[in-house]
Amino acid sequence: MANGFRNPYITEADIDPRIATVLSVQSVEPDPEGNYRTRTRNVDLDLALSDLGYDVKGYKYSGLGDEVMGALKSVLGGSGSVYPYIDPTQGLYTADDSLSSEWDLVRSMADYLIDEGEHDAYRRYGGYGVGIMPTDAESIEFESILPFVDIFDQKSIAKALTALAGKGAAEIEASDVRALDKEMFDKTKSKYYDPLVENVREDAIFDLAKALSPDTSGGFAGSSAGASRRAQARRGYNKEMRSILSEILKQRGKATEDITSRIYDWQELI
């Protein structure tokens, strides 16, 4: 897990992202006269990586909140070139094989087309390593790169931002990125403030008990003055509790704002 600590907000998991590309397909096919000629056409592909035989590992998130997930999808949810993720040591990898180059993925797509019966002639009359390729170096894109990004790790975020910036853009350094951390999310949860609430409640109960203690001034406990004093004491208790709960709501909102602000700061690096 990120930073070596247990983090309940992120889990390593099997993922099955979709990829989209336009392949330029060259196949050798017979013409009506029986002469074999090279035919070139573009094929639109929108596939899950599992369709290509890959068992992919990535990240799943939980407990981040809708506002934070919205910010993450806005900044990291866009499609990105697959190339920066073809790295056996980080990012896209498989259970029993690694995508060591962009062309490994292209060849997998070619195999898929052949297996689907799209290019039987090409299977018979040539290899697919050269004849099927992206029409553009940036055309192999994931629908979203968020499942590949560890938002608690500077290097992972920098790698993702570099991918989103596109080929030709300067590499974004990890040192330029401020990652998120577990405590930032803890501060958005009510449980984080439980010790504070308990302290305020204990003080408020003490004040209430003191105010409700028997009148030592000689008055009657059942008198109208005593009832008024008890009502006032309860109002004081309720006011203290409402005040701390209101402040906690503000702090939780501020914590969420701090997270989304940092996420949008990443966008400024692209």
- Which residue in the block uniquely carries the two structure tokens 């109002």? 235
- Among candidate residues 129, 60, 50, 51, the one with its CA nearest the CA of residue 95: 50
**Would you call 163 exposed, middle or buried from its count of C-beta atoms within 10 A (0-12, 13-18, 19+)?**
buried
Highest mean predicted confidence (pLDDT) among 147-156, 197-206, 247-256: 247-256
pLDDT at residue 1 tops 60: no
By three-state DSSP, how is residue 231 classified? Answer: helix
pLDDT, tens digit (0-9, with 9 covering 90-100), for 63-82: 999 999 999 999 987 665 55
pLDDT, tens digit (0-9, with 9 covering 90-100), for 35-44: 777 777 778 8
Write out the DSSP string of 244-268: HHHHHHHHHHHHHHHHHHHHHHHHT
Angle at 71 between CA 67 and CA 74, to 5 degrees: 135
Tokens of 134: 């992206």
Asked if residue 133 lies in contact with residue 23, where contact means CB atoms within 8 angstroms, the answer is yes
C-alpha distances in angstroms, 67 versus 63, 74, 149, 261? Answer: 11, 11, 18, 11
CA 61 to chain centre: 6
pLDDT of the residue at 15: 81
Distance, in Å, from the CA atom of 58 to the CA atom of 148, rounded to the nearest integer, reads 5
